[in-house]
Amino acid sequence: MTKKGERAVVRGLKDVAAAETKISFVEPKGFLYYLGYNIDDLVGRVVYPEVAFLLIHKRLPNRQELDQFNACLISEMKLPERMVESIRATPKSCHPMDILRTEVSRLGECDPENNDLSEAANLRRATRLVARVPTIVATIHRVRLDKPIPVPREDFSFTENFLYMFKGSPPEEAETDVLHRLMILQADHGFNASTFAARVTASTNSDMYSAVTSAIGTLKGPLHGGAGEKVMEMLDDIGLEEHVEEYIQGLLDENKKIMGFGHRVYKAEDPRTKHLRGIVRNLCYRDRTNSLCNKCSKIEKIVHDRKKIYPNLDFYSAVAMDALDVPKEFFTPFFASSRISGWVAHVIEQYEDAVLLRPSSKYVGEFGRKFIPIEQR
Ligand code: CMC
């Protein structure tokens, strides 16, 4: 409060700590920690399900626990038939994020232990969501292509199965490796907007599916997870490499935002960027990836020179997903397929905190307006 009854507004909640968390720490100088582990120590050394286990159970699994977790994820991947039917009934003009948001909400209807809100049931629900969000995404893609939906294979890892179900053929080892790294980098990120939305919903003691549905709606926006699709639209729109300078300078002259740049917390380079740069450089034997990478390097330099800002997660992850042959409208659904592990971990932590997240506002509207009945208006 400032004066009597007057509240200080922190616009955009910038730098406001809304709760305590042990799950991840976004350090403005350019570091990211999951449960105390620097992501630089995890990427390339662990697989994605290890990170999902870490976020949900707050510790790394041993070999046996990881094998069990992976098997459990695979056994939960298959969707109830009525969900597949519902996806088939959706017009193909719908954006995959809209379908994903609806189908995650429907997962709540299909939950086998709907009335059990115990901690143990929530852990099982969290695992089911980590398993099924990627399957919903893969099913949306297969249905849009009018192609069969592969049944998850027990001889494949969870991440391999995601690509297998999405593409319809067994992925190459190198592709699965890229996806593990990408999913690890996308898994969690402090109180980002979608995670915060999930926690607000969970703070009312609403169920996990409702919380994740809130998160998906929030991730969709182009200032958050929707940025990746916009990055690819921009890269395609630029056309030839030699048009980069004019195109980007033109946007900056008009004070337009360059998608995939800037960050609310990082004041230095986003610590995920160096890993993503490495991933896409390794894929530059592909002509299209090479050309996209060249454009990206030029854009990075121009934007940094003019605005002193850096690429964020969505910039090079767009190029990585393109190299995996993921169509751009599926970039945000892929992001959701990884961030689900962070969302459910935060929802569980919010239940533990057991406090309603409900800010106040500063009223700047009118008082004492004279009421006029409808007949006289
Ligand atoms: N292009 C050009 N200028 C920018 C950009 C950008 N992408 N981002 C920030 N700026 C400038 C902005 O114009 C402002 O300059 P000035 O102080 O001269 O007016 C300054 O940097 C601060 O920007 P802001 O918008 O007030 O910062 P914010 O913390 O409110 O916004 C952001 C953060 C991520 C919404 C913003 O950087 C942005 O809109 N970026 C583009 C969209 C994007 O890439 N989103 C992905 C976010 S990170 C990954 C994720 O969560 O999905």
pLDDT tens digits along 3-62: 555 788 999 999 999 999 999 999 999 999 999 999 999 999 999 999 999 999 999 999
Is the pLDDT at 254 greater than 70? The verdict is yes
Q: Identify the three-state secondary structure at position 318.
A: helix
**Ligand 1 centroid to residue 291 C-alpha, Å:** 25
Q: What is the pLDDT of residues 289-333, one digit of tens each?
A: 999 999 999 999 999 999 999 999 999 999 999 999 999 999 999
Contacts of 13 (CB under 8 A, 6+ apart): 359
Tokens standing for residue 335: 């992001």
What rounded mean pLDDT belongs to the chain? 96
pLDDT at site 295? 98
Is the pLDDT at 173 greater than 80? The verdict is yes
HSE at residue 3, side-chain half, CA atoms within 13 A, is: 0
pLDDT at site 31? 98
d(CA 376, CA 179) in angstroms, rounded, equals 64
Comparing C-alpha atoms, which of 10, 32, 31, 15 is closest to residue 23?
32
Mean pLDDT of 204-210: 97
Contacts of 174 (CB under 8 A, 6+ apart): none
Site to probe by mutation for ligand 1, drawn from 231, 247, 256, 263 as the one with most ligand atoms within 8 Å of Cβ, is 263
For ligand 1, whether the C-beta of 171 sits within 6 Å is no
Active site residue 305: no
d(CA 23, CA 56) in angstroms, rounded, equals 9
Please determine, looking at this structure, whether the domain spanning 20-221+328-353 carries the CATH number 1.10.580.10.
Answer: yes
For ligand 1, whether the C-beta of 221 sits within 6 Å is no
pTM (two decimals):
0.96
- Amino acid identity for residue 215 in this structure: A
Q: Spell out the domain ranges in the chain.
A: 20-221+328-353, 227-323
Q: What is the pLDDT of residues 112-165, one digit of tens each?
A: 898 898 999 999 999 999 999 999 999 999 999 999 999 999 999 999 999 999
Evaluate whether 134 touches 337 at the Cβ level (below 8 Å). yes
What separation in angstroms does the CA of 280 have from each of 318, 324, 343? 10, 10, 26
d(CA 46, CA 164) in angstroms, rounded, equals 20
**CB neighbours (10 Å) of residue 263?**
18
CATH tag for 227-323 (out of 1.10.230.10, 1.20.1070.10, 3.40.190.10, 3.10.20.30): 1.10.230.10
pLDDT at site 5? 59
Active site residue 314: yes
d(CA 55, CA 345) in angstroms, rounded, equals 6
